[in-house]
Structure 1
């Protein structure tokens, strides 16, 4: 359940990045620049989620390393799909 909540938060954060890109009119395609910024930010948040799972929840690093791609990749794939669509 926690993984699903983190994925939903990732998609919401992606929407926030897209919204700010359109509001600030950064380039002719503002979302591409913001989507490129989203990926390292989401990597950091996913890494923080991994660290919290190991330190606080008591999971092993191996268990969290298996969950990390499931948390990191879907929002990033969605961001890349949107970037190439625009």
Structure 2
């Protein structure tokens, strides 16, 4: 359940980045592409913090947490990359 909540949190961060881009940069694909470019490293850090908490506090090994990290980072990142692809084509 924790993993699902973290993934949903990542998707919420993506939405917030996109909303901020719309408010600050206006309409059009340019600001949205910038938002996606900013989201990816931001979410990587967030997912890495989740990995660190799993290792340091929950007692899992890095080998146990790494697949979870890939899912936690990969889900929202895949949505962001799909959005980036769509925006850059149109």
Between the aligned partners of 1:26 and 1:45, the Cα distance in structure 2 is 27
Q: Which moved more, 1:76-85 or 1:11-20?
A: 76-85
Output the TM-score relative to the length of structure 1.
Answer: 0.94
Aligned residue number for residue 37 of structure 1: 38
Deviations 1:14-61 (A, max 9, x none): 000000001011684211001000000000000000000001011111
Number of positions where the alignment pairs a residue of Structure 1 with one of Structure 2: 86
Q: Which runs of 5+ in 2 are unaligned?
A: none
* Counterparts in 2 of 1:65 and 1:50: CA distance versus 1, 3 Å: same
Runs ≥4 residues deviating over 6 A: none
Q: Which residue of 1 aligns with 2:65?
A: 64
SS in 2 for 1:57: coil
